[in-house]
Structure 1
Amino acid sequence: ELGIILMAANMNKLAKMMANLTHIFGWIEKLSRIFQRKWKMRLSLFIGGTYVPASLCCLSMMAIILVVRR
């Protein structure tokens, strides 16, 4: 009888561990997807051959426009 109780407790403990691992792996997968999207977006923002991010070019263009306006 004691063996059955201990086995049930171990099975319950194992089930909780598996649930926690599934939860952790779910978060890891979500973070992985977020970084993959950001990496793809960053690659699409690079201007061919110059490796300057488009966001930097936009900032420099805005600075040029502001200087010309003054």
Structure 2
Amino acid sequence: MKKWSSVLAASVMALSIGTASADDGKTIYFYNWTEYVPPGLLEQFTKETGIKVIYSTYESNESMYTKLKNL
């Protein structure tokens, strides 16, 4: 679990660098491969940091590209 926490924390920091917005800064969007985050990890992260995580997944590079292209 500690390894996943470190991976998530590093990912969150990397993603949050370019996600500054006018809101309160307490929400991040995390887009990842299906089944890469163990159950309960995002809830634990929110509990420890107060930052809400909106988690979306993709199953292939094509579906990821399509979703990102349509943002």
For Structure 1 versus Structure 2, the TM-score category normalised by the shorter chain is under 0.3
Using CA pairs under 8 Å that are at least 6 residues apart, name the structure with larger relative contact order, 1 or 2.
2
Give the structure with the larger helix fraction.
1
The answer to which structure has the higher strand fraction is 2
